[in-house]
Amino acid sequence: MTAELLEGSLAIARAALLADCRFFAGYPMTPFTELLEHMAEALPTEGGVCINAESELEAVGMAWGALATGARAATGSTGQGLALMQESLSEITRAELPLVVFHMARGQFDYTQATRGGGHGDYRHLVLAPSDVQEAVELTQLAFHLADHWRNPVQIYGDFFLAHTYESVELAPLDLPALPEKEWAVDGRLGGSGRSRNLNPLGMEKGAKGIEPERFWVRLQEKHDRMAETEMRHEAFACEDAELVIVAFGSLARFARSVVQELRAEGVRVGLFRPISLWPFPAPALSEAASGARRVAVLEQNGGQMIDDVRLAVLGRAPVEAIGGISSDDAGFGVGDLYAPAEIRRRVEAALAARGGVQ
């Protein structure tokens, strides 16, 4: 397998095809647009379908229908567009359809939207946040697998930087376990047999009179609990003896990592904890990584959203403070100050100084 130089969006589109994605629908919105363009170009030539939907509402609805037939299907947008899709996203979750959502956010201020959702009802999505293009290729394939495995939507949380960066990547298929047949998918063939199917987010079952909301809810809730226990992913870098643990995710974590490397080379005991799954948040691993730290610094590109999850993980054992904030440039897409290692270093040093200066 040889490496290729690919733009993030194209690499993700190619990874989706590698994962046998057959259907894609989307509506252009920066920085999701390029992913839609690549899918529109590549899917039809691979025998799949890509529809340029007339709105985000329609895009997610179309993906819903394709998923119902058992096809691997995906949609996506940026935070604003995903806000429009929320109603369907929660219904699709309750109908247990394996949607993959590419959330190409403008920055990181959609953390709460991605991890909590804005839809109605009790629902959860697995949310994976790659920090570089190679990881995006792997997590995209994993997303399709996990969606089918759990019969639950999985989000890839990317951003402007990931979508537009050219990197050298290897597009190797992941070796993933086999999945059961999709017995539940509709194909019309069982009509009139008494065994026809009903893909229903309301808990209504074929042949049953009325609904048993409690039983339906308990079943879904137990599934989400199992997902929460088994799907936590993270990377802990130089955290073992760290006095200050920086918590960062996605593209921003790459810049934090280089600052940690720089400071470590100077003998400063800092580490980086990077949640790869934003939901479920890898709280036990963070608790462990921060167990010897005197301070935890949360670097995120927003007004303080992930910091809630960090605080819950650390549970008061060390002070947790925000060192991020809004990072904007003239283009308005968030590739600003926080993507400069020098600026991150300045903020990390300030955090270190706050507890008595850099060693």
Partner 1 sequence: MSDDRPAPPTVPIDRPPEEAAKRLGHFRPRLLLHEDHDLCPGCGEPVAIRILLDAIEELGCAESAIGVIGIGCYTAFTSTLDVDLVQALHGRAPSVATGAKRMRPDCLLFTLQGDGDMVNEGLQEVLHTAARGEAVTCVLLNNGVFGETGGHMTATTTLGQRTKNSLEGRDAAYHGHPIRIGDLIAPLGGTAYAARGSVHDAASVVKTKAMLRRAFEAQLEGRGFSFVEILTMCPTGWFVPTAEGPDYLENVLRPVHFTGELKNAERCVTTEQLLEENAAAEREAAARGARQPAR
Is 186 a binding residue for partner 1 by CB under 8 A? The answer is yes
Is 17 a binding residue for partner 1 by CB under 8 A? The answer is no
What is the b/e burial string over 39-78, where b = at least 16 CB atoms within 10 angstroms of the residue's CB? bbebbeeeebbbbebeebebbbbbbbebbbebbbbbbbbb
Is 220 a binding residue for partner 1 by CB under 8 A? The answer is no
Q: Are 88 and 58 in contact (CB under 8 A)?
A: no
Rounded CA gap, 270 and 71, in Å?
46
Task: Mark residues 69-88: x for contact with partner 1 by CB under 8 A, - for none.
Answer: xxx-x-------------xx
Is 258 a binding residue for partner 1 by CB under 8 A? The answer is no
Is 208 a binding residue for partner 1 by CB under 8 A? The answer is yes
Look up residue 104 and give its two tokens.
Answer: 């190409």
Is 190 a binding residue for partner 1 by CB under 8 A? The answer is yes
Q: How far is the CB of 225 from partner 1 (least distance, A)?
A: 25
**What is the signed CA dihedral for 59, 60, 64, 70, rounded to 10 degrees?**
70
What is the b/e burial string over 137-154, where b = at least 16 CB atoms within 10 angstroms of the residue's CB? bbbbbbbbbbbbbbbbbb
Task: Mark residues 108-137: x for contact with partner 1 by CB under 8 A, - for none.
Answer: ------------------------------
The span of 21-29, 148-156, 168-176, 224-232 binding partner 1 (CB under 8 A) equals 21-29
Q: How far is the CB of 25 from partner 1 (least distance, A)?
A: 7
Backbone angles phi, psi at 29, to 5 degrees: -160, 125
Indicate which single residue of 18, 28, 40, 65 sits in contact with partner 1 (rule: CB under 8 A).
65
Residues contributing to the site for partner 1 (CB under 8 A): 22-23, 25, 49, 51, 53-55, 57-71, 73, 87-88, 91, 95, 186-194, 196-202, 204-209
